[in-house]
Amino acid sequence: MLDAVQGLFLSYVSGGGSVEAAYHFNVSFDGGQTQTPLLMDTGSPWLNVGADYLPDGTYQVIEPQPPYTPPFYSSSGKAYQGQWVTVSAIVTGGNGASFTVPSLTIFRSTSPSNVAMMGVSTRMTGLDPLNIFLNVPEIVAGTWAPGYMLDQNGVLFGYDAALAQQFLQVPVNMNLGQRTASASVTLSPPANSGLTQYDATLPFLMDTGIDYTIITPNQPDTPNQPGNPPPNPADWEQANPNGGQMLIPDVTVGVVLGSVSWGFNTSQCGGAPVNPAYARLAVPSQYGILNTGRHFLASYKYMIQLDERIGATTGVMGFLKV
């Protein structure tokens, strides 16, 4: 477990990382009278809360509406309708520790009206003001570093430099169009399949909102990223019994991120906690991405720290072997 003696540590209210419904915190929008469990999602950058949990009197509609795009989740293809509103939020962990954000812009979804997501991704520089983790009062005041640490038990703010130095650190920058670290990704096909190995440099995303891995290949014309053509899904994927597609068996996925490396074979998916439930390809993008789900925290504790709270283009990402 992360050192809960220093700073502020909030444990998940839904149990540890081995629990299927983990990574939730209780959030109150009415001064603590009621609480709603929200899934901490390190893959999205805003709170997306359904109207079922935000009745009249708990929010103020922003007029005119800010120029933010309504929430869309590429992992599921889900889009939402509603309004941007301001709220006061109290975030409480299973251990009773909490912090209060007096005013935060969030999305109040009316369709569907039962979503409960707390996005805390730091990939998008223009959305820093919406990130509730960057609005912890001590971070706003500059007393604590603008970042956080995660493990399978909870989140830590206000950690000291000595703890941060225990993590293997890699630079965060905008080199690949997103504020994140660069991952070297290799897809090695099954033996005698006739398929060609795929190599790419992709932005890295550790995403607690999913339990599987998504590889979004670069388009062939991606700037500064020449490489072999994207893998053809018709050759590399098969039907997923639970819906959608997944990579065929015996594909080896290898990742190198600075001095940190890991991988898995798709035949191992759905087994040990360190492996994803499955892996799939997404439509190639000018800026692809390696999206590794919450299973990653069974192998590494995770840190993200920006050089500035709002609008930074650089920072560090850290990994500490479990």
Q: What's the token pair of residue 30?
A: 């009415």
* Residue 225: predicted pLDDT: 58
More confident residue, 226 or 39: 39
Query: Range of 104's domain?
Result: 8-161
Number of separate domains in the chain: 2
More confident residue, 169 or 74: 169
**195 and 157 part of one domain:** no
Task: Return the sign of the alpha-carbon dihedral for residues 233, 212, 28, 160.
Answer: negative
**104 and 62 part of one domain:** yes
Name the pTM for this structure: 0.93
CATH of the domain at 84: 2.40.70.10
pLDDT range class, residue 18, cuts 50, 70, 90: low
Beta strands in 208-244 (DSSP E): 213-216, 237-239
**264 and 203 part of one domain:** yes
**151 and 18 part of one domain:** yes
Q: What's the token pair of residue 26?
A: 């209780």
193: amino acid identity, one letter: S
Q: Tell me: the pLDDT tens digits for 149-207?
A: 999 999 999 999 999 999 999 999 998 889 999 999 999 999 999 999 999 999 999 99
**98 and 57 part of one domain:** yes
* Residue 72: predicted pLDDT: 82
Q: Tell me: the pLDDT tens digits for 257-278?
A: 999 999 999 999 988 889 999 9
DSSP lists the bridge partners of residue 100 as: 90
The whole-number average pLDDT for the span 219-230 is 67
